[in-house]
Amino acid sequence: MQRKTLVRLLSVLLFIGSFSAVAQDEHTEEAKEILPEGKTKKEEIKEFINHHLMDSHDFNFFGSTDDETGETHHYGFPLPVILWDEGLHTFMSSEFHHGENVVESNGNYYKLYHSKIYRTDADGTINYDESHHPTNVRPLDLSITKSVVMMLVTGLLLIWLFSSLAKSYAKNGSIPRGIGRFFEPIVLYIRDDIAIANIGENKYKKYMPFLLTVFFFIWFLNMFGLTPLGVNVTGNIAVTTALAIIVFLITTFTGTKDYWKHIFDPLGDGMPWAGKILIYIILVPIEILGLFIKPFALLIRLYANMTAGHVVLMSLIGLIFIFKSWIGGPLSFGLSFAISLIELLVALLQAYIFTMLAALYFGFASETHAEHEAHEGEVQHL
């Protein structure tokens, strides 16, 4: 009986495998087919993924191509462009017409090229160096981009949400109502298991506003990144760098004298300076380097994880358009759906990790010598 079952299972697998191989060969050739725009389907999907990962000067929800004329129609809305280039230049991003037009402003000409704005001539000429990088002058871009809009929306959402929760607490005698029942355990967890556990019960309160803000800010932005809006704010290294710099500044300016003494005198007073000089030549530079490695690890971890998640998800969706078969399409869709569920967990997990590490750095900075000795005594006792 078991042999018959095994033979049937192998037969089914061979049958599916043969069809998969045929579909693989057919659609590999189809992926190499040259489209009317002069690109292969793989190149078009790769370009689409790169465009999704980059910031943009407008919201483009979707597009459609006219089969008769070949003209592409984009559906979305433009955002204001603000440039400083020998004076202030302002106009709407719709004037670029998705990079097809050159915009004239106060005698200067500008062109949108790979989501960046360059100063050009009236013909929109882009000059390149030997590595095929544009050499045109880039004005100071202060535009309200898609990422900026989503950060403003998230900030306003946080203000409205927690202001409403605070008013609800005041009216109901510190008893959560409605959506507050969902958010209260999260707030308490951040306070008890992140802030107090890493900073200490006596000093955690001054760090709580930032820890709560950065947790929900990153979490909400990560969740927006999984919506059809097509935003990838936390996958923008400029955003994660700004968050890491804030953590670095708070750690630096709230550090106690014992914290700085540990950095520049890590061995303490137990050894004479004559015996410590050679050791300090190595130790002190490492401690100083650690000041910058910590925030760098914060920004890279958040940026890399969110970017990788978007690349994997978009690549799996792109496979649906390459393997146009009853095997490849459903399989790619199923994998995309599974990755989307995992990304929901990753969105929360990355916000938690960033907040946890920030609290850990704040705890190091605010710890006094007496607290450090007490902590070491507890560890030795255990």
What integer pLDDT is reported at residue 69 of this predicted model? 63
- Is 18's pLDDT higher than 80? no
Q: What CA–CA distance (Å, rounded) separates 343 from 313?
A: 9
Given the structure tokens 């008893």, which residue do they identify? 175
345, 346, 350, 356 alpha-carbon torsion, rounded to 10°: 40
- Percent of the chain at pLDDT > 70 equals 77
| Beta strands across the sheet bearing 102-105 | 102-105, 108-113, 116-120
- Is 347's pLDDT higher than 90? yes
pLDDT tens, residue by residue, 254-265: 988 888 888 887
Q: Which of 114, 144, 174 is the last residue of a domain?
A: 144
Q: Does residue 16 sit within a domain?
A: no
Q: 212 and 313, same structural domain?
A: yes
54: CB partners within 8 A, 6+ apart: 114, 115
What integer pLDDT is reported at residue 96 of this predicted model? 87
The first and second tokens of residue 248, run together, are 């670095």
Q: Does residue 218 sit within a domain?
A: yes
Q: 139 and 125, same structural domain?
A: yes
Q: 110 and 73, same structural domain?
A: yes
Q: Which of 99, 116, 144 is the last residue of a domain?
A: 144
pLDDT tens, residue by residue, 95-124: 888 788 899 998 899 999 888 899 999 888
Q: How many domains does the chain have?
A: 2
Confidence tier at 31 by pLDDT (50, 70, 90): very low
Q: Does residue 110 sit within a domain?
A: yes
Q: Does residue 48 sit within a domain?
A: no
Range 355-372 average pLDDT: 82
Looking at residue 227, the DSSP 8-state letter turns out to be S
What integer pLDDT is reported at residue 312 of this predicted model? 84
Q: 233 and 135, same structural domain?
A: no
Output the average pLDDT for the chain.
80
96 C-beta neighbours (distance < 10 Å), count = 21
Residue 102 phi/psi, 5° resolution? -100, 135
pLDDT tens, residue by residue, 132-160: 889 999 999 999 999 999 999 999 999 99
